[in-house]
Each structure stands twice: as C-alpha cells, then as structure tokens.
Amino acid sequence: MKRNSIFMIALFFLIVAGGALLYHVLVLQQPGGSVVEDVWEREVPPLEEPPPTETPPPAIAPAYQTITATEALEMIESGEPFVLLDVRAQSEFEEAHIADAILIPGQDLADRALAELPDKDMRILVYCRSGRRSAEAVWTLLELGYTNVYDLGGILDWPYEVVG
C-alpha cells in the first residue's frame, strides 16, 4: 500500500530592519523540500522618533549634607548670604542660640518654611540641641524643594559663642 502523505513545514522569521519589524513565511512541502510559498510582508511600520517633550525631565533631588561647626563658622564669616535656622522650641532658643539665628520650631517648619524662607536656593544651616531635630528639619526642607540645606547638628557641639 502506497502512502501519499504531504508533510508541510511553515517557517516564520522575524527580522528587525530599518526600525521595522518584518516577517518572512517560508512554506516547504515534503518530499523533496520544494518551496510552496515564499512571502515577505511588513508587519509594523517603521518606528518614528517621539516628539520632543515640552517639560524638562525631573531634577535630581539635592543630597542630604552635613556640616561641622568649623565649616559652618567659615560659611558664616565668608560674607556669602545664608540663613542660620534653629528648629528647637521657643524656650530653648531664649535660653541660648547662635547669633543671628532665626527660630522656626521643627513641628512648625512644614507650615512656615515657604513664607519665612522664600528663596529655595538660599544656603540654610540648620541646628537644634543634639542633632535629631535638625536632621528631621533638613529632610523636611529637601522634600519642600530647598536645594542648599546643611545639617549643622546640635548646639551642644557648637564650641563658639552663643547668645541668650
């Protein structure tokens, strides 16, 4: 008994050419492997460049910066503009503070910063009693978009003169 069977193989080739996805279908028939159909077709049109964006990419967030008392004193004495920000309680500020400091208690900072510190690029040196509240305040200012903020730590580590 003679079997007359036709065995067909379809091969698909995906090709990326010139930014377009092409596919090639090659259909073979057995025996002899003769090509029954050989077709090139374009699946996807060429990719186009996306239009330029109207808004610039988001800026990289400023880094958290610490500063020593010596470095802070150099900045203060340099004549460059700065804000010395005390984030302790009013009673602590009245007891002793670094000369020319302004007081915005840490718990009020998020609500008062924009009104009392309008220049977000101004150099701001932040301190508290021991360094914990100043660290929290620096993070708050960075989250509000301030770009030039330094954590001075605590007044306990300030070896220079204080007023009060």
List the catalytic residues. Answer: 128
Q: Are 122 and 148 in contact (CB under 8 A)?
A: yes
DSSP code per residue over 24-56: EEEEEETTTTEEEEEEEEEEEPPP-PPPPPSSP
CA distance 150 to 152: 6
